[in-house]
Amino acid sequence: MATTGSIEVDDVKRGSAGGCANTVSTWQGGSAGGCANTVSTWQGGSAGGSANTVSTWQGERCEESGEETGRQDKGVKVFRCEECGKQFGYLSVLKTHMRIHTGEKPYRCEECGKQFSRLHVLKIHVRTHTGEKPFMCGECSRQFSQLDNLKTHMRTHTGEKPYMCGECSRQFSQLVNLKIHIRTHTGEKPYRCEECSRQFSELGHLKSHMLTHTGEKPHRCGECSKQFSKLGVLKTHMLTHTGEKPYRCGECSKQFSLLGVLKTHMRTHTGEKPYMCGECSRQFSQLSSLKKHMRTHTGEKPYSCEECRRQFGQLFNFKRHMQIHKGETQQE
């Protein structure tokens, strides 16, 4: 049988009662809804059944062959991507997958023009414009725009940490945090500053670092209007206005506004001195103390008096020196 415009060739060789064993189908060209050329061949087999079918997608073409697929159910077609070998149960899913290789993004956001390869990803993105958050936590009523984000959030209530580091067995509630942690073992720093070539293990750290080059300080204190480059630094600064000291020492009940300061304070009780001078092996409880001490070896004097150009290695000595000039000014 042949027709004009498209070619159809059917060759049927009968086997036992009303069944077929193998199917070989080839689609060439055409869009999702149809085929330009179709060649189908049936060769007789046993009664009432057909062998499994593998179809391979080649750009605009999908080829099917009667190969073994490992599927137990008879007559199920498996569509295989020729680029990466991944297999799919539906041709439509394979076509969507192919956009990974072609880079096609047919779905465009009408608000910002951003394009997406999948419709459901566009729908999720649109919520960033509408503010819609349809997924609510049953524990704390917090709402989320994506179901996956809700599932991840639920681990803060359950304490579940399903992702474990193979090196140190530390566990994490999110896969992304595990991946970042792994870099502490591998030393990988994939994010590089284009200004000074400094490298970072986390994108967030690179973004914060970039502010040192731009001078941008996007976070402003509502009390005194002082501006900061990092949100964390602003939050710390706010404690100077509120007087809040949420961190208490378990030994002496002294309170601190910063966790880091509490940890440093705890060394006065434990006697721990984790910072050692590489020159003389002297140890210090604080990193800042080690840095000051290092100047006795390097001779560095970073503090300079603008009045007499005298230089000092320690800030305390510089301030004491400045009092001399202050007294001279008052006498005049």
Mean pLDDT for all residues in the chain: 79
8-17, 60-69, 139-148: least confidently modelled range: 8-17
Which residues does residue 64 pair with via DSSP β-bridges, in sequence order? 55
Query: In which band, very low, low, confident or very high, does the pLDDT at 212 lie, cut at 50, 70 and 90?
Result: confident
Query: In which band, very low, low, confident or very high, does the pLDDT at 330 lie, cut at 50, 70 and 90?
Result: low
**C-beta separation of 32 from 13 below 8 A:** no
Which residue do the tokens 């539906």 mark? Answer: 90
Q: Which residue has the higher pLDDT, 250 or 42?
A: 250
User: What is the three-class DSSP state of 263?
Assistant: helix
Which residues does residue 256 pair with via DSSP β-bridges, in sequence order? 247
Spatial distance between the Cα atoms of 128 and 145, rounded to a whole number of angstroms: 8
Q: What does the buried/exposed string (b/e) look like for 260-285 if buried means 16 or more CB atoms within 10 Å of the residue's CB?
A: eebebbeeeeeeeeebeeeeeeeebb
Distance of CA 207 to the CA centre of its chain: 14
Q: Which residue has the higher pLDDT, 284 or 49?
A: 284
* For residues 124-133, average pLDDT: 93
Q: What is the pLDDT of residue 307?
A: 87
Spatial distance between the Cα atoms of 154 and 173, rounded to a whole number of angstroms: 10
**Bridging pattern class, strands 7-13 and 37-44:** parallel
Spatial distance between the Cα atoms of 61 and 177, rounded to a whole number of angstroms: 41
Q: Inform me whether the pLDDT recorded for 210 exceeds 80.
A: yes
pLDDT digits (tens, 9 = 90+) for 93-118: 999 999 999 999 999 999 999 999 99
Q: C-alpha distances in angstroms, 167 versus 175, 182, 190?
A: 15, 8, 20
pLDDT digits (tens, 9 = 90+) for 184-204: 999 999 999 999 999 999 998
Q: What is the pLDDT of residue 331?
A: 59
Which residue do the tokens 């499994």 mark? Answer: 52
DSSP 47: T
Q: What is the pLDDT of residue 332?
A: 55
Which residue do the tokens 């005298």 mark? Answer: 310
Q: Which residue has the higher pLDDT, 140 or 36?
A: 140
User: What is the three-class DSSP state of 43?
Assistant: strand
Considering the chain, what percentage of its residues have pLDDT values greater than 90? 53
**C-beta separation of 16 from 26 below 8 A:** no
Q: What does the buried/exposed string (b/e) look like for 215-229 if buried means 16 or more CB atoms within 10 Å of the residue's CB?
A: eeeebeeeeeeeebb
pLDDT digits (tens, 9 = 90+) for 144-190: 999 999 999 999 999 999 999 999 999 999 999 999 999 999 999 99
